[in-house]
Structure 1
Amino acid sequence: MAWKQFQFKDQTVFVRVLATGKPIVHRGRVEMRYRLGATKSYRAAPDNLIETDSEILPDEDFGGAPAPAVSSQAVREDPIKAVGPTTIIIHTDGACSGNPGPAGIGVFFERPDGEILEHSEFIGEGTNNIAELTAILRALEMLKPEEQAAHVLIYTDSAWSLGVLVGGWKAKANLELITAIKERMVTTPDVELLKVRGHAGHSGNEEADALATMAVRRESTTTRTRRRAKPPSPAP
């Protein structure tokens, strides 16, 4: 992350931004400091900011206190926060016929009210990594506005995607997709990206894999919702 100059109520300030120069908005506020190298931060509404034609300063050039990470996660299989009655659980997967080749994504979305959303999307020519990242991005985009503050678990079997998103790996490709995902993660602060073993019989992962494979095979996009089947009543 980095800093960029803005005008705020007739003052020049520095605002925490992403690599694109876009201010990071968390719970309706941006992080702001009043001078280069300052260590004290203030929170302000982004509506009062006026962008200036200034360069983006990486943290090491700005000075001051160290930057917080986008996520405190490492690559893990188990969530930090226990699953509760309002937790949203999502499985994502990407498929590619050849690498690169025709690619598709699958998103299997389980809401706590019993709604299940199945999204199968053909994304054209791509690589396995593009498909896996696009599936994660699409899952974040499919959250409703009122779900932005919810506890969300997103499972993927892509170790590479998790490495570049939360594991500290340095990516050399697909930087726009990675940036877009991190932007979404900033605005969805209670999301956890988790590893699931692929093709190991995990129902959510198998569903997402089938949706991604179907997208490649049919070269089409479909989205449908259904209700989770109720368990059978116990015998009297």
Structure 2
Amino acid sequence: MPWKAFEYRGESVWVRVLDTGKPIVRRGLVEFRYKQGAIKSYRTQRENFEDAGEGTGEILSDEAFGGQSTTPSTKLREQPSVAADEHTIVIHTDGACSGNPGPAGIGVHIVRPDKISEISEYIGEATNNVAELRAILRAIEDLGEDERERTIHLYTDSGWSLGVLIGGWKAKKNVQLIDKIKARLPEFPKLELLKVRGHAGQEGNEEADALATKAVRIEDSTVRERPR
């Protein structure tokens, strides 16, 4: 994955980013290095970085940056390989918890050609990462046998979930849950897992977030379908 210059505590550093230039947040932290070609990485919260300013918008590949790569080269894509049309199933998932761990819920928003499904499910005590993964699994479980050959775009704002599912990242926890999702993915050969920026007004993501938050708030589950 590429690198881009940002300001951190008054000096320019290089941050690990998506192809679009947006920093990759993993477990709430962003990877950065102090200079081009450096080997050692550090991590801090996203809000500690500011755009470095005019003339520093260049994005460098791992090869151009130099140093040692600490993350796999598989890219977390934001855009599907095939554009959505009237037959595409578009899914947004999200997880939420009050405390980490704490009371947790998941939200799944599915737009099919003929209807919209909204799943708000309370899952009890869990971490945020578990909630994000459970939301993805619940979305896949909602897909029917007749949808196996459909084009499906599944969006999540959890870069960590995408990393451990399709990015080649090594997971130390939640391995069984991760393996369970991986085992289901081949059932839907045209399903793409995609990254969306959370809390940015993205249609579908906002609904999924509200559904997950609702489940935590009321500590209960609801499923609703309506015509599109």
After TM superposition, the score normalised by the length of structure 2 is 0.67
Shift of 1:186: 1.1
2:33 corresponds to which residue?
none
2:111 partner letter: E
1:87 corresponds to which residue?
88
1:181 partner letter: I
2:97 corresponds to which residue?
96
Structure 2 residue 185 is the aligned partner of structure 1 residue 170? no
1:120 corresponds to which residue?
120
- What are the Cα deviations for residues 109-145 of structure 1, in whole angstroms up to 9, with x where unaligned? 00012x0000000000000000000000000000011
Partner-residue secondary structure (3-state), 2:82: coil
Shift of 1:192: 0.3
- What are the Cα deviations for residues 160-218 of structure 1, in whole angstroms up to 9, with x where unaligned? 00111111111111011111111110111110000000000112100000000000000
2:193 corresponds to which residue?
193
Give the distance between the partners of 1:195 and 1:205, measured in 2 at CA: 11
- What are the Cα deviations for residues 70-96 of structure 1, in whole angstroms up to 9, with x where unaligned? xxx731100011212211000000000
The count of residues paired between Structure 1 and Structure 2 equals: 155
Structure 2 residue 91 is the aligned partner of structure 1 residue 78? no
Give the distance between the partners of 2:162 and 2:146, measured in 1 at CA: 26
- What are the Cα deviations for residues 51-71 of structure 1, in whole angstroms up to 9, with x where unaligned? xxxxxxxxxxxxxxxxxxxxx
Q: Runs (4+) of structure 1 moved beyond 4 Å? A: none
Once the two structures are superposed, the pairs formed by residues 139-178 of structure 1 within 5 Å of their partners are 139-178=139-178
Give the distance between the partners of 1:176 and 1:152, measured in 2 at CA: 24
Alignment RMSD = 0.9
2:204 corresponds to which residue?
204
Which ranges in structure 1 are unaligned for 5 or more consecutive residues?
Answer: 1-72, 229-236
Give the distance between the partners of 1:82 and 1:91, measured in 2 at CA: 16
1:70 corresponds to which residue?
none
Give the distance between the partners of 2:152 and 2:184, measured in 1 at CA: 12
Partner-residue secondary structure (3-state), 1:107: strand
Partner-residue secondary structure (3-state), 2:131: helix
Once the two structures are superposed, the pairs formed by residues 215-230 of structure 1 within 5 Å of their partners are 215-228=215-228
- State percent identity of aligned pairs: 64
Structure with the greater alpha carbon radius of gyration: 1
Range with bigger deviation, 102-111 or 165-174: 165-174
